[in-house]
A and B are shown apart, each in its own frame.
Chain A
Amino acid sequence: MTDPATKDDTQSITVEYELLHPPAKVWRALTDSKLVESWLMPNDLVPVVGHRFTFRARPIPGWDGICHCEVLEVKPNERLSYTWRGGSDELPHRSRLDTVVTWTLTPMVSGGTRLKLVHSGFKSSDAYAFEMMGNGWRGKIAERIAEVVAALA
């Protein structure tokens, strides 16, 4: 499957965990909106391809706290993926996160689940750093720096 967020020069994070619970149960925890809220963030996720939803976090300097998502792939008990984007659909994505989160569930002989998370599409850090210079981020970086400097004092 073509990953829409894949471009040259992107990086991804991979995290793998072995869970003691069966795939069907882990799947529920990944796809039931209320359950997802308990460990991730408030959301209106529905495991249907094409469904658009948001994750809502507390805003911090440089991020309004809203993650815009669209479900890309649903294979019950096996694979779930959605886009994970900063900014709204009206704003250009160039200076924001434009990534994909993919969960893969593999049953283990023990009855548990090997859960793999891949979060891909991070542009090179230089791209972010440079884009921080424009697009109204200068003030936000300054705020963040001021916060940290105050904490150091």
Chain B
Amino acid sequence: MTAREDAIFRALADPTRRAVFERLTLGEAAVKEITARFDVSQPAISQHLAALRKAGLVAERREGRNAYYRVNPAGLRPLVDWIEHYQAFWRDRIERLRTTLEEMEE
């Protein structure tokens, strides 16, 4: 597993962080709004958001004294890399094709 994937999994290993991330998949939210939704203190929420940001899963923008967070669409890419998945898939299947060919009559 790559360092990037590892960071993502560690970030999402905490159920509250996972729930915060899921909330952000619905759209951008202010820190205050996120705090109101969960029974967790604001400093704790800020820590969770920092961990998600460090893992590349969310991005922050500031407007005056308010901070807004949104999902980074490319953030989950290491987990859902279809290309890599299919490359491994086809290599494996063609090896199996070799076996089938061996077992076929001429």
Inter-chain contact B79/A29, CB cutoff 8 Å: no
A119 to B89 Cα, complex, angstroms:
11
Instruction: Find the A residue at minimum CB distance from B106.
Output: A25
B96: which A residues are within 8 A, CB to CB?
38-40
Contact pattern, B 76-106, Cβ under 8 Å of A = 1, otherwise 0:
1101111100110011011011111101101
Inter-chain contact B80/A128, CB cutoff 8 Å: yes
Instruction: Say whether, besides A38-B96, A40-B93, A125-B82, A19 and B76 are in contact (CB < 8 Å).
Output: no
Interface-facing stretch out of B28-36, B43-51, B67-75: B67-75
Inter-chain contact A115/B94, CB cutoff 8 Å: yes
Q: Residue B42 at the A interface, CB < 8 A?
A: no
Q: Residue A122 at the B interface, CB < 8 A?
A: yes
Our pick among B25, B91, B104 for the contact of A29 (Cβ within 8 Å) is B104
Q: Residue A107 at the B interface, CB < 8 A?
A: no
Instruction: Say whether, besides A122-B82, A125-B77, A149-B12, A138 and B104 are in contact (CB < 8 Å).
Output: no
Inter-chain contact A117/B94, CB cutoff 8 Å: yes
Interface on chain B toward A: helix, strand, loop, or mixed SS?
helix
Instruction: Say whether, besides A119-B86, A129-B74, A15 and B91 are in contact (CB < 8 Å).
Output: yes
Inter-chain contact B79/A144, CB cutoff 8 Å: yes
Inter-chain contact A17/B94, CB cutoff 8 Å: yes
B99: which A residues are within 8 A, CB to CB?
39
Inter-chain contact A126/B73, CB cutoff 8 Å: yes
Inter-chain contact B25/A138, CB cutoff 8 Å: yes
Instruction: Find the B residue at minimum CB distance from A24.
Output: B106
Q: How far in angstroms is the closest Cβ of chain A from B12?
A: 5
B90: which A residues are within 8 A, CB to CB?
13, 15, 117, 119
User: Can you list 5 A-B contacts (CB < 8 A)?
Assistant: A13-B83, A15-B94, A25-B101, A122-B86, A145-B9
